[in-house]
Structure 1
Amino acid sequence: MAATKIHAIYTDDDLLMQAVKQTRAANYHISEVFTPFPVHGLDHAVGLAPTRIAITSFLYGLVGLAVAMAMMNYMMIDDWPQNIGGKPSFTFYQNMPTFIPIMFELTVFFAGHLMVITFYMRSKLWPFKKAENPDPRTTDDRFLMEVDADNHDVEKLSKFLYDTGASEISLIENEHDH
């Protein structure tokens, strides 16, 4: 099945935002938007669901906290208790104030590193992956909106996109939609 898409290129982020709103209001499906920098509010305007990466970050932080507590309990209480500066080493809770910096650091370490790994896996960004950017100018100064044109009149859709402020329109036909 051939998937037909239209690439509309814009020169300004405000113009792109307005075009996205008009395109969604006209009930056209925007499959992707490529920008050279993050555009505030674009995810909401396109209709993307909110990300859940903050939840995973919190859970990863809890894992880091648990690892820190287990590590310090094993090292400083069970395996090799030492009297450092007269501080007791009988129980974990007696040493809790001295363990707080380590617990904080490992919480942040686990949350940060595992969140980045999760982001890359979720985004399918592998090392040496070929870029899927349809137009190299979108890494410099252009904004590209990809609109599905399968069930629409291409001429009418192209005119509509020109009216929203697009500087260029390209018709793209793929052999398979991935």
Structure 2
Amino acid sequence: MSSKVLHAIYTDDDLLMQAVKQTREARYHIEEVYTPFPVHGLDKAMGLAPTRLAITSFLYGLVGLTVAATMMNFIMIEDWPQNIGGKPSFSFIENLPAFVPIMFELTVFFAAHLMVITFYMRSKLWPFKEAENPDVRTTDDHFLMEVDVANHDVETMSKFLGDTGAIEIKLIHK
């Protein structure tokens, strides 16, 4: 079954924000909004849930810290202890000050790299993926709000979106 959406195009980000608020108040479902730059507060205006990427980043950092501590303990204490620069190799705790920079670097390394991978997977940005941008003008200076028609009258919705300041409204069959 194909679904129908209305593409409403705006020329100003403040006008778009107001239109998103009015559209939500009218109980229409906004599928997606395409903008040429980030519009601060748009996610809250659309009613999107807050992201959990920060929690994921913290967990990835803990994984990096654990890998660093485990790696250094095995390499420098258990497997091949060496007296480097007069530092004793009897225990991990005695060498902890020398290990802090490595633990910090691996914590940041794991958090950063795994976050990039997580972001790409979450956003479905695969290599060689075709762009899903419905209107090329949204990469330059226009804003597009995609509203689901569902069980609503197209004429009424078009009039409503026109009243919110849309300069162009198109019915699209997906």
TM range (shorter): over 0.9
Post-superposition, which runs of at least 4 consecutive aligned residues in structure 1 deviate over 4 A?
Answer: none
Deviation at 1:150, TM superposition (A): 2.1
**Secondary structure at 1:127 match in 2:** coil
Where do 1:28-107 residues align within 5 Å?
28-107=28-107
2:150 aligned counterpart, secondary structure? coil
Deviation for aligned residue 1:122:
1.2
- Structure 2 residue 8 is matched with structure 1 residue 2: no
Question: How far 1:78 moved relative to its partner?
Answer: 1.4
Q: Could you say what secondary structure the match of 2:56 adopts?
A: helix
Tell me if 1:146 matches 2:157: no
1: distance between equivalents of 2:2 and 2:121?
28
Report the Cα distance in structure 2 between the residues aligned to 1:4 and 1:52, rounded to whole angstroms.
31
SS in 2 for 1:5: strand
List alignment gaps of at least 5 residues for structure 1. none
Cα shift readout 1:138-159 (whole Å, capped 9, x = no counterpart): 1111110000112111111111
Counterpart in the other structure of 1:120:
120
SS in 2 for 1:111: helix
- Measured against aligned partners, the alpha-carbon deviations of 1:87-123 in whole angstroms (never above 9, x if no partner) come to 1111001000110010000000000100110111111
User: What's the CA shift for 1:74?
Assistant: 1.2
Paired with 2:161 and 2:133, the residues of 1 have a C-alpha distance of 20
Find the counterpart in structure 2 of residue 109 from structure 1.
109
CA distance in 2, matches of 1:125, 1:2: 24
Q: Which amino acid aligns with 1:76?
A: M
Deviation at 1:64, TM superposition (A): 0.3
Give the TM-score normalised by the residue count of structure 1: 0.95
Between the aligned partners of 2:62 and 2:117, the Cα distance in structure 1 is 16
Q: CA-atom RMSD, angstroms?
A: 0.8
Separation (CA, whole Å) in 2 of partners of 1:8 and 1:62: 44
| Partner secondary structure for residue 141 of structure 1 | coil
Q: Distance in 1 between matches of 2:71 and 2:36?
A: 44
TM-score after normalising by structure 2: 0.97
> Can you give the 5+ residue segments of structure 2 that lack an aligned partner in the other structure?
none
* Counterparts of 1:11 and 1:89, CA distance in 2: 66
Q: Percent identity?
A: 79
Tell me the number of residue pairs that the alignment of Structure 1 and Structure 2 aligns.
Answer: 174
